[in-house]
Structure 1
């Protein structure tokens, strides 16, 4: 293992329109090279953490959770004119559970307090949440490198500044004090870019002067070397440019991939860069964060004196049963007792009370609700609470399809509210459980095959009609599932699914065009590199999360400006896997 390496500065597809490393491919590449660990450090966000941790764990690789934060030299509350608004990059890694919680605080407050074009932190916030964190000086866009006078466009038109070596030393010393000795590293990168090599000796001198250890990194933005062109096309989509434009934002090297351990050690030999590669393994050993995916985090429901959640739920159900049925016969009474026992044993009484309370509030406010949908209609408890309006006994509906004692899964009752008052229901939920306990849930759009083809044609400067002709040759969706470009071009074998065969057969026109249409092959190959990557974030149409404690203790959140919605940085499946209560407020 002494000759191995760990990549600790890595951008995935969750650095949207900038990172092209698919999480699954990334961890497989690391595992194939025998590297013991890898980090995720996306731009200003923790979007991909749940997917990354699960994928890395499956491959036997230690997942290191991190971020490339945007750091303002002033206050995160400042809103300076755009050309005066400086921000630096800083790589920050969680060493332990305390560090992970602090990382979530930084990622959240960067949005809640510091969002101004980008989510920004400052030195004050960093010092407040530095425990359990490891920091580095970062890439050319970092505070220390920028003070060394690099003239390199780094991000969103942020450019270098005049050289101030003493200032760079002071900045490095400040961050060493913030993180603590042994927790701050001078990051070294070499992609063959002149600006990096120009400041290399300065960085080594600063490390020696301030007694800061070195750390080699490759600032990876894609997994494999051959993906450099697809990544370049992705940058063109981000900036609305074409690849032939010499003045556009681009990476001046094709070396930003997950290099092998031997490549990194050859790039940063021990005699010239003492400890730079070994320290990646040291951090890989230190950084151990365990995320609990086997818990249920239901918020408590306040019940009247003399009751607990189970007894209060039983009282409400029996009162509702009297209204629904009058005097209960044996069949109805036994069904109610059985369901309540299952609900209590599984710890879900508070869930039913929460849903009941929301439906009851809507009724008192004259807000129309739906009769219930899906498997929840199989619950007599839901029927007696007026959560649903279908009698499961009358219609022979099965409770176990909704809640099965053999499956440890959170119930999922979809609630339909009059669309005009959906925001009112979310407001009520936030008031009842605390505004810092409630948020809407993020979702991401991906670059689908047809859009990838059109995007590729544009960035390669082919005519609109060329891209449109190729995109329209993609086959129609089957049962709502679009064909991928690979399904269209790769002949299915005898074990392929019926959908794969149907998609391939329906794409004969696309394959013909690739033989006859000028530029078609180049466009399609570029599109294959773009297809499936995350394009942008948005808010899920229905999902709301309610937490038993402040959300930022469990998931990072974001808000893009004053008055905007508070949204989790983890997708719906991640929120559910963490054990949080996800509810669908449908319109």
Structure 2
């Protein structure tokens, strides 16, 4: 097995320059046949690692984790042997990311060690740390505790600094040999050779005091270079093969079911959905008195059959349930946006308030059996009450089944320049000058300025930090805590470490709960009119042909009007001059 441990991708945020999409190609070219992904306490890249790095190479998923062991903070490398091991890796990552101190206690770690391989990570290990302080008895004590407590335990040998190579490596070999523990090759890898200076700047973005440990070499090496580096310890590669030869894990797609609105299993979801729609259809008919009600009945039958055939009965029931809750609690719900307004089922359920037949809206734009895609109903709520609806959903179905979604903010042109300037201690005036030069068409003659821009270009596109998806929520019938790694999220929810595209590729359904300030304003205005003017206005039954409203639109007097207040839209209104 040609490989090494402790290979980190860009998803070790602000700690690695290596782009995940390049890992396979560069490793193959460098003579490796196995990649050991070992990002920092997280599994952000786990799905992408298997599904978006197209290669015949063996891929082994793991993490570098921070923990408390014998009263000291230290680290371990932890790798999954199989699907059960990956579940334990997920639990460990979640425990770390949900903890206040972003680490796990050793006694909790060993509870989830089944089907995991654990390796000390070199200079970040408490064993190496004790040896560096000449505390040999302590190093032995730590080693024996690991060996006694961990089923699959190995000592990682790192030669990345002169002190590690000349002082620590011989001591580790003696320790490992005396207690029958195998040594494995550890080479923490965070950048390519030409990226050394950019890496030094990158790690200072998070903390200006950060620097490479002992001026060590953390660059990517070819397999031949690595074999040369470990020439006095050739057994580490044989040991690596022995330790990981039978590792077998890949992401398997599974079908995720949505939670059930009703606990009563005697009524099937599609039957319940049809009953609700028929009641809703009768209610809408009483209000509108359609000239051709049979057209609505035929359309409804077609939509229900399509929805059932595609397996989305529960999706509509879940959305109907929380929209109903919102309306019962006096929370305004948007009348409908996007292709979902083309669904008569949505209209009958009260999810939308737009008659798709009256306005010739196509259901097929929303859901088409000839084009398999997830349904996508975007729901608008007042921004000051959106979280109430999300909390209702989380409490009804369980916090481990309702997750917010992680997003990644990447270093863009201007932000990368500003971050590099800050790491170089440049003044704000100099920083602004360089940003202005970089975004203009001017020729840059100053070599120092050019050097700053070269460094900034190297870190551009790397993820800088995580955020929370503005609207998306994942719902599942299953407990997701052994399927998706968690971290702390907004709205008192657990948050998936996987981003939206990964979750949807896995087959999980996303529903967008949008917080709209305009709905909060409309709610406030209606309340004021009712309390001060005794005017009780039904916002859903206002005339659509009001001339004064069209006069405002024709004048582009739409400041504060949702989706019509931008300069571009106001320009269109001025040209279009909409009228009744």
Structure-1-length-normalised TM-score: 0.82
3-state secondary structure, aligned to 1:286: coil
Q: Distance in 2 between matches of 1:164 and 1:424?
A: 56
- Structure 1 residue runs of 5 or longer lacking an equivalent are 75-84, 151-161, 242-247, 476-506
Equivalence for 1:101:
87
Q: Distance in 2 between matches of 1:286 and 1:55?
A: 23
3-state secondary structure, aligned to 2:52: helix
Q: Distance in 2 between matches of 1:407 and 1:258?
A: 44
Instruction: Please tell me whether residue 135 in structure 1 is matched to residue 118 in structure 2.
Output: yes
3-state secondary structure, aligned to 1:415: strand
3-state secondary structure, aligned to 2:267: coil
Q: Distance in 2 between matches of 1:238 and 1:193?
A: 27
**Cα pair distance change 1:282/1:295, threshold 3 Å:** farther
3-state secondary structure, aligned to 1:551: coil
Instruction: Please tell me whether residue 197 in structure 1 is matched to residue 180 in structure 2.
Output: no
Q: Does the CA contact (< 8 Å) of 1:62 and 1:284 recur in 2?
A: no
Task: Pick from 397, 403, 408 the counterpart of residue 367 of structure 2.
Answer: 403
Instruction: Please tell me whether residue 90 in structure 1 is matched to residue 76 in structure 2.
Output: yes
Q: Distance in 2 between matches of 1:335 and 1:317?
A: 12
Q: Does the CA contact (< 8 Å) of 1:232 and 1:251 recur in 2?
A: no
Q: Does the CA contact (< 8 Å) of 2:256 and 2:477 recur in 1?
A: no
**Cα pair distance change 1:367/1:305, threshold 3 Å:** same
Residue 385 (structure 1) shift: 0.9
Instruction: Please tell me whether residue 70 in structure 1 is matched to residue 66 in structure 2.
Output: yes
**Cα pair distance change 1:404/1:172, threshold 3 Å:** farther
Equivalence for 1:480:
none
Q: Does the CA contact (< 8 Å) of 1:111 and 1:560 recur in 2?
A: no
Alignment of 1:284-295 (within 5 A): 284-293=244-253, 295=255
- Structure 2 residue runs of 5 or longer lacking an equivalent are 516-580
Task: Pick from 447, 461, 470 the counterpart of residue 434 of structure 2.
Answer: 470
Q: Distance in 2 between matches of 1:17 and 1:434?
A: 34
Q: Distance in 1 between matches of 2:124 and 2:426?
A: 33
- C-alpha root-mean-square deviation of aligned residues, in Å? 2.2
Q: Does the CA contact (< 8 Å) of 1:230 and 1:530 recur in 2?
A: yes
3-state secondary structure, aligned to 1:340: helix
3-state secondary structure, aligned to 1:87: strand
Q: Does the CA contact (< 8 Å) of 2:3 and 2:35 recur in 1?
A: yes
Deviations 1:519-547 (A, max 9, x none): 12101110111111111112222122222
Q: Distance in 2 between matches of 1:438 and 1:197?
A: 52
Q: Distance in 1 between matches of 2:243 and 2:463?
A: 29
Larger Rg: 2
Q: Distance in 2 between matches of 1:407 and 1:88?
A: 51
Deviations 1:429-470 (A, max 9, x none): 111001222221111111111111122233234443333223
Equivalence for 2:441:
508
Q: Does the CA contact (< 8 Å) of 1:126 and 1:178 recur in 2?
A: no
Name the structure, 1 or 2, with higher relative contact order (CA <8 Å, separation 6+): 1
Q: Distance in 1 between matches of 2:242 and 2:310?
A: 43
3-state secondary structure, aligned to 1:417: strand
Task: Pick from 278, 281, 298 the counterpart of residue 258 of structure 2.
Answer: 298
Equivalence for 1:262:
224
Equivalence for 2:510:
582
Deviations 1:385-443 (A, max 9, x none): 11111111122212222112133332111111111111111211111001222221111
Equivalence for 1:234:
202
Residue 100 (structure 1) shift: 0.3
Q: Does the CA contact (< 8 Å) of 1:268 and 1:277 recur in 2?
A: no
Q: Distance in 1 between matches of 2:212 and 2:374?
A: 46
